[in-house]
Structure 1
């Protein structure tokens, strides 16, 4: 009888904790090139890709940052990952791209191209394209519209214009999750701990 109770409690522990352990947020944003070159006055294209990392996504908000004295964003062409893609290149040094599903009952679960940006070189020099994780989001298709972006997994791209030169100082994108992601992480690890404590107490009573 005691062995049956032990088995039951162990199975209950596994099924309660497993969803929290195996659902770590890891969705990320990347560029299709880690390096890019162009001439002063020339143009180049670079694509923004989204990796769901196993999650089902409903939308994404992406902010690409760059040195506005080195580069100018000329245009953004929608990719095929999301059926609806919008953009805004009116802000100096930043490109905003949004992608979303048209039907809430559908989702995106595979990696793909969100959009392709065309940049123009403005002067010789070097710089970095990066994602602003404080404002960028990757939204999971769940009731809470959970932001599952993992900033530490986001990519960057080094850009050289003409003869190149020292890269202009830029603020590195934060490696941590945004506030909503931090709270989600605390909940994810706190809940299994509480469950473990309760089941541990129950096992002691059985034994």
Structure 2
């Protein structure tokens, strides 16, 4: 299966970017570049949990609504949500109205507070699970990895919800813990340079 596609602008991209018009910008500017910002990391792992069973296009289209609903993914604010907030969010047509996933975000906000106490930051914890690039297979040939299994287990052990190995692998791809841009994609080398310059959180 061809993992790249040449777009109308003449650039070669990962084939999945051709699935929707809005994917080009997301692919070129966000996906696969290393992230050390805790809020962005928390947002992404929450959105990946909402994506479970759905398409990323659905989630991306609602991302601003999710940000508004969950206080910009400020986990301290979300951790204070009550059952009344759950009921309110279940009436919010701008997000995915799934009780289990909404409750998981609130739970995970509380677990994020604990994890920051433990590790200093979410970034410091997540980046401990960056795999050695030399051990990675050909890009986009797997949906889980030993690293995503290990990170999933570590999060579940700490009480996080909706963080299975496939969800965590998608998170690692998107947040640049691995460079999974396809060979030949015009972003692969840019992502590699960004990763080389990235200051890993201590």
**TM-score above 0.5, yes or no:** no
Bucket of the pairwise TM-score, normalised by the shorter protein: under 0.3
The structure carrying a bigger strand percent of its residues is 1
Larger radius of gyration: 1
